[in-house]
Amino acid sequence: MRIFKFSYSTAYRTVKKAFADLYPHYFRMNRITKTDILFGDATVYHVFGITATAIDHYRGKVDIKRVGKALREEIE
């Protein structure tokens, strides 16, 4: 079931026009990681319908950024 009644190509072009530096999947990833931080894995599973492995994938992307930032701060 689609939330919006237009094609994926139209969605991609719309996002790129409004946010040139971002990509459409960024918004999904952003919502999933924020929901996971605030409410936990069970809520993410029920709201987004993704598996625990997929949740770990999104969490891993966030953790890499945090680790890189922490290492940069340590060096400086």
The pLDDT assigned to 60 comes to 65
Query: Does residue 7 lie in a domain region?
Result: no
- What are the 10-residue block averages of pLDDT along the chain, 76 residues in total? 78 84 76 85 87 76 67 77
Q: How many domains does the structure of the chain reveal? A: 1
Query: Does residue 67 lie in a domain region?
Result: yes
Query: Does residue 8 lie in a domain region?
Result: no
Range of the domain at 29: 24-75
The pLDDT assigned to 62 comes to 57
Q: CA–CA separation, 21 vs 5, rounded Å?
A: 25
Angle between helices 41-48 and 52-75 (to 10 degrees): 130
The pLDDT assigned to 1 comes to 64
Query: Does residue 15 lie in a domain region?
Result: no
Query: Does residue 38 lie in a domain region?
Result: yes
